[in-house]
Chains A and B, each alone.
Chain A
Amino acid sequence: MKALTFTLLAEPEERLDLSALTPAGLAGLADVQIEKLRVGTTRNPALVGDVFKVTGKDPQSIIFEGGSARFDKIGTGLSGGAIRVTGDVGLEAGRKMSGGALLIDGSAGDHAGSCMVDGRLEIKGNAGDYLGGPLAGEITGMEGGLLIVRGKAGNYAGERLRRGIIAIVKGCGDYAGYRMIAGSIVVAGRVGAMPGYLMKRGSLFLDRRPENLAPTFVDCGETDIAFSGVFDQFLIREKIMDKPLLGARPGKFGGDIAVSGKGEILFRRGR
């Protein structure tokens, strides 16, 4: 069966809430019903049929042909199946995913992967601020799954991460791992100011020594553990990195000692 395909007719005039267009949300709906789903967010909201040409039948495999920074909440609550977007997306892509795969060929806005629990979210371009982070009023951020950004991420990447892995391949902004509770964040490329600020536990893995670290991190010297090699292999096996990130005997900072101080920043020495 051919993938259910939403082909963008023109740049939308309003922000779209695409949270309903998931395999679970579309299962059992006829084309006519799908075209009448409301996706616009203004007083005169657009329907699916106003914005997209709908073809294909298989709701377990959804493709958005074309993208826009106004595509909000794509893949919200995705629990199985696959969604692919051939362009950019807006806010909260893959929020609260609990399974399946979301692949974004372009860039994503703020809060991509917000509070995801499981599944795989891959962004081939850049991501905005608060990658994996919670929305206002929520207690914790991402709680599981794998979130990969092939480009750069903005500020506050991995805020209040509780479980799971976030990998950013071309650097990120300030406050990466802000208020981390646990889990792992991998960053290759330049990291902005204050990585790990207020982190309680968890691990930040960097391919270089951080330039602007909070003074509440303690230099623990170099580590001689098997973990770094195992983790490097995992990153290569998952095709996140094509060469080892940490190498043998990475350097380590412990912190943030203003809170519990049980977090760690491991980094490749010599860069």
Chain B
Amino acid sequence: MSVAWVGSQPVPLTDAVRNAAKLLASSRCPVFTLDADVHGTRSAIALAERLGGAYDHAAGDVLAKEVALFTDHGGMFTMPGEARRRSSLIVIVGEIPVAHHELLQAWAGSQPDLGDKHKRTWFHIDGTETIEADKLARKLKAIPLGADGLSLPAVLGVLRAGLQGQRIAASLTNIDRFRKALTTAQFPVFVFSGTSGETAGLVMLQGLVADLNKTGRASSVFLPADDDAWGTALTSLWMTGFPPRTGFSNSLPSYDPGRWDIQRMIRDKEADLHVWMSTRGGETPPRGGKIPLISLSKTNSPTSGAKITISVGKAGIDHDGVSYSSRTGTFRAVQAAQPSELPSVSSIVGQLAQALPGRKALPC
């Protein structure tokens, strides 16, 4: 089975690497879309640094929104395990990605056993309803907390003002039940995600959590819209001090979610080479832009429109690796479930670096 193509022609891997390295060496402004495990991400960032490029994650839009809460405001956070064992009042905020529903349902099947041992109660703060959010709320038997016609940021504002004792015209359904639950709960926890709504609403939520901490304890659990994307953000922070949407203009890393938005750079013809990485399988590079594309993706056929395609494996399936788990709130080692001959992103990026003029190995 072929693992490398130049255009639509199958070629030996070494030929594909040599051709890709030529494109990289001649590029004035290469951009990298990341979607790999920790080792692949580290290698790709090191290559972007060497080439003066910029990088973002494939789920860059929602990741940028999640990162903005941290860079622009901050918040009070706890680990999922703490919430499961200590909280008798859990509030779901907006829409939580389907990938986390199983985790939340597992919590629903348990009771807190440390500190607060009251029976667990669930609420769901919502703005614009979606089918998935409704379905989750029903499964958790969550009590709705909202108001017709109000967006999530507006509902959160009304809730925060109401809990401060402010008098406002708008009222929320089940607000009295929520007040009562707050009086007995020793550690209320709000669960949210980047898909929960705009950053402005998340900032209001964190203000509400801070208000509650003036008289008791409360916190929030952040469940990322995409675990791999959040793992990339943490890896990028570790390597450069900044999350994705970072570029290496003047050889130093600089973070700017507007300027280094890779899709915008391609659309506005600022980038002249796109290195697209995707280990999930079945993904296609975003449309738009007509710059040369190098595809490092889990595929058994050449990527449409790519100058070079190299098939790579996924950590946890084709090879061992390290990835982020929101269930534990940290990185974990993952073993290959179905080991294959497909090379890892990290090994291919390493070969690309060695094929560049100077033949210098990457530091990671």
Residues of A near any B CB (own CB < 8 A):
13-15, 17, 41-45, 70, 72, 91, 109-111, 134-137, 175, 178-179, 193-194, 197-198, 214-216, 218, 256-259, 261
Closest to B52 in A: A43
Whether the Cβ atoms of A214 and B153 lie closer than 8 Å is: yes
Residue among A14, A134, A179, A193 making CB contact with B28, cutoff 8 Å: A14
> Taking the complex as formed, is B154 at the interface, i.e. its CB lies under 8 A from any CB of chain A?
yes
Nearest CB of B to A113, in Å: 15
Whether the Cβ atoms of B160 and A258 lie closer than 8 Å is: yes
Whether the Cβ atoms of B270 and A91 lie closer than 8 Å is: no
Whether the Cβ atoms of B68 and A216 lie closer than 8 Å is: no
Residue among B51, B154, B257 making CB contact with A214, cutoff 8 Å: B154
Known: A43-B51, A179-B203. A194 touches B154 (CB 8 A): yes
> Taking the complex as formed, is B27 at the interface, i.e. its CB lies under 8 A from any CB of chain A?
yes
Known: A14-B270, A15-B270. A91 touches B29 (CB 8 A): no
**Cβ contacts B145-164/A at 8 Å (1 or 0 each):** 00000110110111011001
Q: How far is the CA of A43 from the CA of B52 in the complex (A)?
A: 6
Determine the chain B residues whose CB is within 8 A of the CB of A216 once the complex forms: 154, 157-158, 160-161, 166, 168
**Cβ contacts B21-33/A at 8 Å (1 or 0 each):** 0000001110000
> Taking the complex as formed, is B335 at the interface, i.e. its CB lies under 8 A from any CB of chain A?
no
Known: A178-B200, A215-B169, A215-B170. A91 touches B259 (CB 8 A): yes
Closest to B161 in A: A258
Whether the Cβ atoms of B71 and A197 lie closer than 8 Å is: no
Nearest CB of A to B321, in Å: 30
Closest to A194 in B: B153
Q: How far is the CA of A43 from the CA of B272 in the complex (A)?
A: 12
Closest to B73 in A: A179
Determine the chain A residues whose CB is within 8 A of the CB of B255 once the complex forms: 136
Q: How far is the CA of A197 from the CA of B153 in the complex (A)?
A: 9
Closest to B150 in A: A215
Determine the chain B residues whose CB is within 8 A of the CB of A215 once the complex forms: 150, 154, 157-158, 168-170
Residue among B161, B166, B170, B200 making CB contact with A194, cutoff 8 Å: B200
Q: How far is the CA of A218 from the CA of B166 in the complex (A)?
A: 10
Q: How far is the CA of A44 from the CA of B28 in the complex (A)?
A: 6
Nearest CB of A to B198, in Å: 8
> Taking the complex as formed, is B339 at the interface, i.e. its CB lies under 8 A from any CB of chain A?
no
Whether the Cβ atoms of B154 and A43 lie closer than 8 Å is: no
Whether the Cβ atoms of A261 and B166 lie closer than 8 Å is: yes
Determine the chain B residues whose CB is within 8 A of the CB of A109 once the complex forms: 258
Whether the Cβ atoms of B207 and A259 lie closer than 8 Å is: yes
Residues of B near any A CB (own CB < 8 A):
27-29, 51-52, 67-68, 71-72, 150-151, 153-154, 156-158, 160-161, 164, 166, 168-170, 200, 203-204, 207, 249-250, 255-259, 270
Whether the Cβ atoms of B153 and A14 lie closer than 8 Å is: no
**Could you list 6 A-B pairs, sorted by A, with CB under 8 Å?**
A136-B257, A197-B157, A197-B204, A198-B200, A215-B157, A257-B166
Whether the Cβ atoms of A136 and B28 lie closer than 8 Å is: no
Nearest CB of A to B269, in Å: 9
Determine the chain B residues whose CB is within 8 A of the CB of A13 once the complex forms: 28
Determine the chain B residues whose CB is within 8 A of the CB of A175 once the complex forms: 200
Closest to B147 in A: A215
Whether the Cβ atoms of B168 and A43 lie closer than 8 Å is: no
Determine the chain A residues whose CB is within 8 A of the CB of B168 once the complex forms: 215-216, 218, 257
Q: How far is the CA of A175 from the CA of B71 in the complex (A)?
A: 18
Known: A42-B28, A42-B29, A137-B71. A198 touches B249 (CB 8 A): no
Whether the Cβ atoms of A42 and B72 lie closer than 8 Å is: no
Q: How far is the CA of A136 from the CA of B154 in the complex (A)?
A: 24
Determine the chain B residues whose CB is within 8 A of the CB of A72 once the complex forms: 259
Whether the Cβ atoms of A198 and B270 lie closer than 8 Å is: no
Nearest CB of A to B150, in Å: 7
Q: How far is the CA of A218 from the CA of B157 in the complex (A)?
A: 13
Closest to B270 in A: A15
Best-surrounded residue of A15, A111, A215 (most CB of chain B within 10 A): A215
Nearest CB of B to A84, in Å: 24
Determine the chain A residues whose CB is within 8 A of the CB of B249 once the complex forms: 17, 41-42
Determine the chain A residues whose CB is within 8 A of the CB of B166 once the complex forms: 216, 257-258, 261
Best-surrounded residue of A43, A137, A175, A179 (most CB of chain B within 10 A): A43
Nearest CB of A to B302, in Å: 28
Q: How far is the CA of A107 from the CA of B52 in the complex (A)?
A: 29
Whether the Cβ atoms of B157 and A256 lie closer than 8 Å is: yes
Closest to B258 in A: A110
Whether the Cβ atoms of A41 and B154 lie closer than 8 Å is: no
Closest to B247 in A: A41
Determine the chain B residues whose CB is within 8 A of the CB of A45 once the complex forms: 250
Whether the Cβ atoms of A258 and B259 lie closer than 8 Å is: no
Nearest CB of A to B153, in Å: 7
Best-surrounded residue of B51, B68, B204 (most CB of chain A within 10 A): B204
Q: How far is the CA of A258 from the CA of B159 in the complex (A)?
A: 8
Nearest CB of A to B243, in Å: 9
Closest to B259 in A: A91
Known: A14-B29, A198-B204. 14 other contacts (CB 8 A): A15-B259, A17-B249, A42-B249, A43-B28, A45-B250, A70-B270, A72-B259, A136-B255, A136-B257, A194-B154, A198-B200, A215-B150, A215-B170, A216-B158
